[in-house]
Structure 1
Amino acid sequence: MCGTMKAIVKKESAYGAVLAEMPIPEINEHEVLIQVKATSICGTDVHIYNWDDWAKKRVKAPYIFGHEFTGEIVKVGQQVTRAKVGDFVSAETHIVCNQCYMCLTGQQHLCHETKILGVDIDGCFAEYVKVPEQNVWHHPVDMPEEIASIQEPLGNAVHTVLHTSVSGKSVAIFGCGPIGLMAIAVAKASGAIRVFAIDKNEYRLKLADKMGADHIIDVGKDDPVTFIKQHTRMEGADVICEMSGHPRAINQALEACANGGKINILSLPERPVTIDITNHIVFRGLTVQGITGRKMFETWHQVSELLKTNTIDVKPVVTHTLPFEDFEKGFELMRNGTCGKVVLMMPSHERGKK
């Protein structure tokens, strides 16, 4: 397929992005070309849009960013065998080498040679995107496109929460951005006896309540460490999921964790964070786990089953669906925190239209 397409492009090493005409990607024999129907804005995309310190060190402009999407396959390479034109799909966004030790021992999400769609290579903020066949994930045909487009970040929430058993335990989620909000539902569905939701954003704390959090903690009004300990026999939360990336919140998460507890960190702080390892981790026997991506493809199976069985409901997280061309409004909503998940819809997003 030749020609051009509309795409949101990080044109230069500066704040913002532009809508531009770009060449439609050419695929190799092991890749598929997908017509994007819906794409959602991630916190990582906001880092790139803002051009913060993390983005400056990681991203090389110009390129197309974005990595959360759903769409329809419109072309397949000659060696593709398990995907066909017309399939309704999303994609695992970590493109791995399949040759390193991590890949060969079933830990592809930790591949040394990982290239991330929309971060290291051209992404899905476009009418078309190409991915390796290995990365394709099929959806039920009746899944709403806005839900299909957020399965990748839902996978982050599932991976973060389920890395540690939460059944019968108290769980504190620091940061109620979209992934944190989804993590609330995952924790409740997985048997957590109480879930604390911590943030300073009133809009998102209201969403946390809708997602089933037992305790809502506004850090502008209450000290989360004191609050959590008061509701856990002064022990602290058994499991902490750190989703905020804020240095103060990370330190509060360490303090709020029970002795011998687990802290799973998904967030991406913009700068190095100072913590008291001796007193907050070593002497208290904490386990701190970094979470990256999703387990390939165990997490995708978990996500699919959670949705298919209606074990979790993530519809309240999707607060805005906007036309693709209104991406600047979407980024402004994300930057201000006056939204849950923002999904950009393509003009001809109905299934089957080319």
Structure 2
Amino acid sequence: MRALVKTAAAPGLTATAWPDPTPGPRDVVVKVAATSLCGTDAHIYRWDDWAQHRIHPPRIIGHEMAGTVVEVGREVSLVSAGDYVAAESHLTCGRCFQCRTGQAHVCRNYTILGIDRDGSFADYVALPEEVLWRTAPDIPPEYACVQEPLGNAVDAALAEDLTGQSVLITGCGPTGLFAAAVARVAGAAVIIASDISDYRLGLAKQVGADHTINAKADTAEAMAAAIRDITAGEGVDAALEMSGDPAALHQAFRAVKNGGRVTLFGIPTGSVCFDLPNEIIFKGIRVYGVTGRRLFGTWYRLAGLFKAGLNVRPVVTHSFPMSEFAEGFELIQSGRCGKVVLFP
């Protein structure tokens, strides 16, 4: 089969022929219809410090995908050949305290598709049956393959009910944009989005943001004043921090009203200092950390959101044949894109 492989401890990927996968007793082989690029894939492509300590070549990367089951192991019972599926990228152990108490999304021993085992940047991928998600056939592959990162946005936005609430989203990368779309369909009253890119702020408007703030053009004081003006001096009910930028982190905590909540999804590149008494404790703020998706509660919720009218089409801005993968990674580096999808 054709595959994109991290063949050596160096920047880039190699497009090459690779042995077809074969299923174990409880595995299936999926013919990949579409697979999307993630920030994690970009780290591996650049071969930055994180990737150098995490990836052991050779490895087919990629973990956001949709396709059709073409072969099943002898003990498989959840899916059949011909099923249209997406996949959960976190493979949990099923044995740790978290897995045994309904918290598999924070399994202590999970492994990740495209990092710890060969992933979806290929014609075919072998997966355990328990990570597969049957997908409605009317969802095109370019949208079906982004259900995994969409799940992150669902958990971030809906850690608490947003109906009738004001929401600030700091960071309009793909997951931040997905969070805006989820907040809109979930009934948020006012959605404010901030980012350093006018291009991405334009996408935020398309998926439902009512107000946008350019964090590069405006000072922190001007941004805070704008948020106070939009919320009649109250501050927002919920802030979703999707960027990991230290300034955005502080903005999120300062913008939320007393008794509000902050959800953290963006990953800072280093340590971040907080004025804990004034930014969190004295305000009585509830803080949620989001990693991955709740298994499989988030996936069921996402299916319902699609039926309720969730619109993610504006977020999927570019698609390429898999052979043109370098153009996709260049777009991610430039920041002038939403989600980038590859077709084998």
Q: Shared topology, TM-score over 0.5?
A: yes
Relative distance call for 1:87 and 1:190 in structure 2 (3 A) is same
Query: What is the match of residue 304 of structure 2?
Result: 305
Query: What is the match of residue 342 of structure 1?
Result: 340
How do residues 260-275 of structure 1 correspond to structure 2 at under 5 angstroms? 260-275=259-274
**Ranges of 4+ aligned residues in structure 1 off by more than 6 Å:** none
Q: Which runs of 5+ in 1 are unaligned?
A: 347-354
How do residues 121-140 of structure 1 correspond to structure 2 at under 5 angstroms? 121-140=117-136
Query: What is the match of residue 319 of structure 2?
Result: 321
> SS of the residue aligned with 1:228?
helix
- More deviation in 334-343 or 280-289? 280-289
- Amino acid in the other structure paired with 2:21: P
How do residues 68-217 of structure 1 correspond to structure 2 at under 5 angstroms? 68-217=64-213
- Amino acid in the other structure paired with 2:153: A
Q: How many residues align?
A: 341
- More deviation in 268-277 or 280-289? 268-277
Q: Which runs of 5+ in 2 are unaligned?
A: none
Query: What is the match of residue 34 of structure 1?
Result: 30
Structure 2 residue 280 is matched with structure 1 residue 281: yes
- More deviation in 198-207 or 54-63? 54-63
- Amino acid in the other structure paired with 2:9: S
Relative distance call for 1:56 and 1:251 in structure 2 (3 A) is farther
8 Å Cα contact 1:54-1:271 kept in structure 2: no
Whole-angstrom CA distance in 1 between matches of 2:65 and 2:213: 32
8 Å Cα contact 1:53-1:271 kept in structure 2: no
Alpha-carbon offset, residue 340 of structure 1: 1.0
> SS of the residue aligned with 1:181?
helix
Q: TM-score, normalised by structure 2?
A: 0.95
- Amino acid in the other structure paired with 1:133: E
- Amino acid in the other structure paired with 2:173: G
> SS of the residue aligned with 1:58?
coil
Whole-angstrom CA distance in 2 between matches of 1:229 and 1:45: 37
* RMSD between aligned residues: 1.5
Whole-angstrom CA distance in 1 between matches of 2:237 and 2:53: 35
8 Å Cα contact 2:185-2:308 kept in structure 1: no
> SS of the residue aligned with 2:53?
helix
Whole-angstrom CA distance in 1 between matches of 2:151 and 2:195: 21
> SS of the residue aligned with 2:18?
strand
Relative distance call for 1:344 and 1:70 in structure 2 (3 A) is same
Q: TM-score, normalised by structure 1?
A: 0.92
Relative distance call for 1:55 and 1:277 in structure 2 (3 A) is farther
